[in-house]
Structure 1
Amino acid sequence: MDVLSDAVAAMRTGRPHSGLRNKFAPWGLRFEAASGAGFHVVLRGSAWLTPAHGEPVALARGDVAFLPHGRGHALAGTLDAPLEDVRLDEEGRWPGLPVPPPDPVPGPPPDAVTLCGAYLLDRSRAHPLLTELPEVVHLPARAGAHGSLRAAVELLGDELRCPRPGSDTIVSHLLDTLLVYILRAWWQGEGRDGGGHPTGWAAALADPGIAASLRAIHADPARPWTVGELGLRAGLSRAAFARRFTSLVGRPPLTYLTWWRMTTAGRLLREDDTPLRLVAQRAGYTSEFAFAKAFKREFGMAPGRYRRRAS
């Protein structure tokens, strides 16, 4: 299993949303804090992104900015532009978001065109792959960089600009694809230290042995893994593996295994009506009672109550 895809799927809820906007000077938008994550892409012109904490970020044409933690921020043509408040609805959409007509647009051209989107996330089980990201993930448009990400942006912009039969499905899948491309681009490039070395979870995924053990856990979380067995997957002795895994992942192997099992169980309870007995088995428990006890210890409530609250 792909650990990155698994981590994203475990947090994602609902459907992502996006839209195109033409901007005419002076323009500025203030986004309130939200439970999900958002992104902005400058398709024409330039913009300033001002996060809740930190210095403003200058965005040029083609730049992508991802805000993984849902904190309030502003996006404007200039730093002194007046700001219009934007409030998302319960599904993470901008009410009445206008879609620009196809080019050429009658009248003077807009000063900027932005592509913005939002993802709904369950932060109660936030994977460290996402929680360790900075407040703003800025991916500048550089020649030859992030080709797949650029292609996804172009396709998404085209579908939003000229909706056709099937666009709803295409846009939803492109947004999911875009999220993974953004995260991959960060960890493979901007998310490295001054010497070009991966840090945090990027280092764990770049380590062949630790990555192999993580793939094994994600592929079969119900298996009664031992530290020794996972060490064999990593090609390391039991002690050496335990030390390296803990150093790179941030928690011991079996602690991470338990955390991921409970995260998987929570997702199953949240998304469908799989019987508790089967949820327990998929989480590696032969006893429904033992599973319920472990689940309550992790989530602070019984599995049945968690399911009812999430429905």
Structure 2
Amino acid sequence: MRQAADANWISEIASNAAALCRTRTSAPWGMGIATYDGVMFHYVVEGSCWLRGSAVPTLELEAGDLVLVPQGLDHDILSSLDVTPEPLEDFLHCPSRPITGETVSTLLCGVYLSGIKMVHPVLNALPPAIYFSREEIERNPSLSSTLRQLTAESEAPAPGSETLIQHLLDALFVYIVRAWSASISDNLPGWAAALRDPNLSRAVTAIHASPGHPWTVQTLAAEAGQSRAAFARHFSARMGEAPLAYLTRWRMVLAARLLLGRETSLAEVAEHVGYESEFAFSRAFKRTYGVAPASYRRTCLRDLYLTR
């Protein structure tokens, strides 16, 4: 059951728009990444650097190390901690950075611009930064192979590289989260730990498999194999919210994602996420996102176009 639940939530994490950049420069250097609406990773191909942020741990990264910052938190990547970083946009658009001296670093940095509000609840369960040392990566064939291919494609682009890189970026995110999921403690609170709970795992998997089903606390309790009262208490204690609150939040996540497709009408989105009328759906959506579904769709499609 846990393997099925893992497969479900990993496959649900969308990376609708992803970008990759490669930078090679000599110390001193630093880039500052402001709070953003996405997920970012940094892979050190050559040399070393530091990760620092107001809400992320300070880490020294050596060649072969990888770090994922999954919650859009501001952070800096620096050649040393005494460097004042440039804003990321200025750093990337600098016309030329001559290689001087022996302290050279090469980084691959990627960002998944899927929108924090739209993504799976697992992102809220992830730590502020997920770090893998070179040794840990080498022990993970899928992760190491994907990083090698990304590095090769970025260093020597060829016909089809852009398409291949997009697929590799999607695979990389899955492998990172999968590796983290396999290593977490059963005692962790929240959504990720709930996957280790056989009762809650059955209920959560049912919600994600059929979000449009007319679920009640009683029917979800039956899925979990518990009484209604015991299930409601257990779910709230482990998940941090009531069962139907979680159901509504997940439906709104799916609705926001579906709204990115121009071909899907509002009525079809409403039906898919379990609402019998556009009016009821629009009211629930506006409570969650602060705007009507049609306005949300126009804004997101415009922003997605501008990032490409």
Same fold (TM over 0.5): yes
1:40 aligns to 2:42 (yes or no)? yes
1: CA distance between counterparts of 2:22 and 2:288?
Answer: 41
4+ residue runs over 4 A deviation: 93-98, 106-110
- Length, aligned pairs only: 294
CA separation of 1:95/1:118 partners in 2, compared to 1, >3 Å: closer, same or farther? farther
Could you list the runs of 5+ residues in structure 1 that have no partner in the other structure?
99-105
1:3 aligns to 2:5 (yes or no)? no
Deviation at 1:126, TM superposition (A): 5.1
2: CA distance between counterparts of 1:74 and 1:296?
Answer: 35
Matching residue's letter, 1:179: F
Matching residue's letter, 2:41: F
Q: Which of the residues 121, 143, 163 maps onto 1:149?
A: 143
Q: Which of the residues 275, 287, 294 maps onto 2:265?
A: 275
SS at match of 1:173: helix
Which piece of structure 1 moves more, 58-67 or 116-125?
116-125
CA separation of 1:277/1:153 partners in 2, compared to 1, >3 Å: closer, same or farther? same
2: CA distance between counterparts of 1:61 and 1:110?
Answer: 12
Contact 2:20 2:108 in 1 (8 A): yes
Deviation at 1:110, TM superposition (A): 6.5
State percent identity of aligned pairs.
39
Contact 1:188 1:198 in 2 (8 A): no
* Structure with more of its chain in helix, by fraction: 2
TM-score computed with the length of structure 1 as normaliser? 0.82
Could you list the runs of 5+ residues in structure 2 that have no partner in the other structure?
1-6, 302-308
The 5 A counterparts of 1:53-92 are 53=55, 56-81=58-83, 83-87=85-89
**Residue 26 of structure 2 aligns with which residue?**
24
SS at match of 1:124: helix
CA separation of 1:239/1:74 partners in 2, compared to 1, >3 Å: closer, same or farther? same
The 5 A counterparts of 1:122-133 are 122-125=115-118, 127-133=120-126
1: CA distance between counterparts of 2:123 and 2:95?
Answer: 28
Deviation at 1:35, TM superposition (A): 2.5
Q: Which of the residues 243, 246, 249 maps onto 2:239?
A: 249
Deviation at 1:59, TM superposition (A): 1.0
Contact 2:125 2:192 in 1 (8 A): no
2: CA distance between counterparts of 1:65 and 1:276?
Answer: 38
SS at match of 2:112: strand
2: CA distance between counterparts of 1:81 and 1:304?
Answer: 45
Contact 2:71 2:116 in 1 (8 A): no
TM-score computed with the length of structure 2 as normaliser? 0.83
SS at match of 2:260: helix
CA separation of 1:107/1:288 partners in 2, compared to 1, >3 Å: closer, same or farther? closer
Contact 2:50 2:77 in 1 (8 A): yes
